[in-house]
Structure formats: structure tokens, C-alpha cells
Structure 1
Amino acid sequence: MFIRSIPLFLTLGLLAAGPAAAADAQAGKKLHDQHCMQCHDSGVYSREDRRVNSLEALHKQVRRCDASLGLRWFDQDVENVVEYLNQTHYRFK
């Protein structure tokens, strides 16, 4: 009987945990300023030939930068940086 209850307990535990934490633009700004600004200035976000033209592309670019710098950010760190960049430069929906 106990073994059959395990999936139910796991499901209830996941529901009780609630949704993932919302992205924190202030935390993203700190990471951005500490790491991203070492390679480029903010002009890269507004140039005419920028390669980031969607929210999906922004996520991919932040992940590429994380990998190329060997930062090994957590998913939440990436989300925070994406949120900061989207609020301050891109404004994708």
C-alpha cells in the first residue's frame, strides 16, 4: 500500500512547492555588470545588426556567453540576466 502512495506524495510535494521563482532583474544586473561588461559595452544591444531579435534568441545568447566564459550559471541566473536585458534593452513580449 505504501509503495502505491509514493507517486501521490511526490505529486503533492511538487504542487506544494509552487511555481518556479520569478526572474529577478536586479540579480541579473549584478551578474551582467560583473561578467558581461568585461567583453563588451551596452552598445551591442542596440546596434542595427544585432543577432538577438526574439526572447528565444536572447535566452540562447545568454547561454552561449555563459558557456564561452565558463561561468556555469544556474538556470535561475540565466533567467535573471535575460530578465534584466529584456527590461532594459530589448522589451520582447
Structure 2
Amino acid sequence: MKFFYASAVFVLTLGSSQAADIDNGDDLHFTNCTGCHDDSVYTRENRRVSSLPRLGAQVRFCKDSLGLTWFEDEVEDVIEYLNQTYYHF
């Protein structure tokens, strides 16, 4: 019986996860991030971000610092946009 419930929960969670929306991440980044800095912060030699978890932490820090009211999926969109465009972790 426990196996049945665990299997059901697993299957239900598979359907509810969604891939990040790169285009939305690009739009959010352009609208909210480029007012403070340009893209050179992502490509400079001594950049702060050195892993995907650190990228997530930095995006959340910037979101909170600017008082943005993004939902978690929007945060994930920006993280994925930055990762695919600049970081490639």
C-alpha cells in the first residue's frame, strides 16, 4: 500500500514540473536587471558566480534587493536564461 501511494505521488509530481521559460527569463532580465548593470558582469574573469546554486542565490539576492515580486517560476526563468546564455553550468 505504501508503494502505491509513493508511486502515485511520484507520477503526479512528474506532470506538474515545468521547464523554465527562457524567453520570459530574457524579458525579465532585460526589464529588471540591465538598469543596474550590463552583460559584462556575467562574462568578466573574476565573476562572482561559479556554479548553478550560486547563480540561483545571486538572482534571488538581486530580486530581493530590488524589491521585485517575482514568483519562483519567474526566478527559475531568469536563472535558466542566464545559465544558457552566459554560464553554461
* Alignment of 1:47 onto 2:40: no
Report the residue type matching 2:20 in the other structure. Answer: A
Question: Aligned-pair distance for 1:17?
Answer: 7.6
Count residues in correspondence.
Answer: 82
Q: Deviations along 1:4-45, whole A, 9 cap, x unmatched?
A: xxxx7xx66x81781321101100000000000010000000
* Alignment of 1:76 onto 2:73: yes
TM-score of the superposition, structure 1-length normalised?
A: 0.81
Structure with max Cα Rg? 1
Q: 2:16 is matched with which residue?
A: 19
> Please, which runs of 5 or more residues in structure 2 have no aligned partner?
none
CA distance in structure 1 between the partners assigned to 2:35 and 2:20 by the alignment: 23
Seq. identity, %: 52
